[in-house]
Amino acid sequence: MPVCAIAPFPTALATSCDARWRPHDLLRLRRLDALADEPAWVSDAFERAPYAVVRRAFAADGFVAIGVRGVQRAQRYGTWVHADDIVGTVSPESLAQMQPDAGRNALPSFIALTFLQGDPCGPLSRFVWGPTGSAGFELATHVPTVNEASDLDLLIRAPEPLASDVARALLEQLQTLAARIGVRIDAQLETPAGGVALAEWAADKVRVLARHASGPRLVVDPWAAVAHDGIA
């Protein structure tokens, strides 16, 4: 997040993530406590849609790291919320077959999503997946968020090793679809080591960047045991 609040607990207590909520889950919140140093747009954004996304950061017991999104692309604010203020959860995969509201399905991101939803033998048919980013936020909240230039962000659950040739084939299929529609599709693999860009894993690099609550780290194998220093 470009802007982040000061944690409402001593940093020494930020040692874990509550397994009930995973990165990219959208949380419906009862309230969001205002902080003295938060950007002016945060309260308006929360009033518009009382949701926040789970972000990759450690928290103290009873808290969850979240990100609030504003109307503009640069308006992102990282903070923490008390678990007692969470009243609902929307996972990316729960949105995989959801349709946008009337009049919104002609936007490029939603055209691409509709194609992926409607193809039982398509590139994502063997995976558990779902939309994140602006498309996921709009589907969950019914607040117009996607525009003509929006990417389609996808999360693909990958708890088991994914062969690089399979990743390349998947990436090529998604890129072909994106080129045909005129939209950028950005897919992320959710692995035991954290979030890994599909494009990086498909490139067969020696090491790939894995986004984890402890911070980004380079790993050789996102499915191998990760050493305590974050390098596999």
What residues are annotated to the active site? 151, 153
Kindly give the interhelix angle for 108-118 and 133-141, rounded to the nearest 10 degrees. Answer: 80
Please report which helix (H) or strand (E) contains residue 163, including its range.
none
66 in Cβ contact with 4 (< 8 Å): no
- Rg (Cα) of the chain, in Å, rounded? 18
**Residue 2 CA neighbour count, 13 Å, CB half:** 8
Pick from 19, 72, 84, 30: nearest CA to 52: 30
Amino acid code (one letter) for 7: A
The contacts of residue 161 (CB under 8 Å, 6+ apart) are 221, 223
For residue 42, with 0-12 CB atoms within 10 Å meaning exposed, 13-18 middle and 19 or more buried, which class applies?
A: buried
Calculated CA dihedral for residues 142, 85, 96, 200, nearest 10 degrees? 110
Amino acid code (one letter) for 77: Y
Please report which helix (H) or strand (E) contains residue 49, including its range.
none
In the numeric block, the tokens 């609040």 are attached to 5
